[in-house]
Amino acid sequence: MKDFPGFMKSKSNHISSKEQNTQDIDGYFYEGADGSQMAFWTCYSDRTSRKHTHEFDEWMVCISGQYTAFLNDEEFVLNPGDELFIPKGTEQWGKCIAGTRTIHAFEGKRIHRIEE
């Protein structure tokens, strides 16, 4: 597959650009009853995210393309099928190449609904 299925890309679950740490990517999210969230991102061109931290654990998997994560300045290159656990409070940023798709699970509320 070259894209997430259409049912995963509902307009009501679209992530506002104001909630992104990476410019010019497309993402959608879902919330669990316990307040956890999952997000699905697609990178259409080579991009770099800004440094940030979360107050909760994060898990991610690379679906396609390549994502290079930097956790406290340690580099992790993720290719399709590779997973990464990011403990809460870890300074992180990353780089993705065009065509990269990732799925992220957050222990807490990472994304807020904002009208663009």
Ordered by start, the domain boundaries in the chain are 18-106
Total-model pTM: 0.91
Helix (H, G, I), strand (E, B) or coil at 19: helix
For the domain 18-106, what is the CATH code?
2.60.120.10
Q: Cα dihedral angle (3, 9, 13, 84), rounded to 10 degrees?
A: -20
* Residue pLDDT, tens place only, 40-90: 999 999 999 999 999 999 999 999 999 999 999 899 999 999 999 999 999
Per-residue pLDDT, averaged over 32-37, amounts to 95
Predicted confidence at residue 35, as pLDDT, reads 93
d(CA 71, CA 113): 27
Contact of 57 with 85, CB cutoff 8 Å: yes
* Residue 116 in this model has a pLDDT that exceeds 70: no
Split at pLDDT 50, 70, 90, the class of 20 is confident
- The larger pLDDT score, comparing residue 18 to residue 98, is at 98
Contact of 114 with 20, CB cutoff 8 Å: no
d(CA 95, CA 49): 6
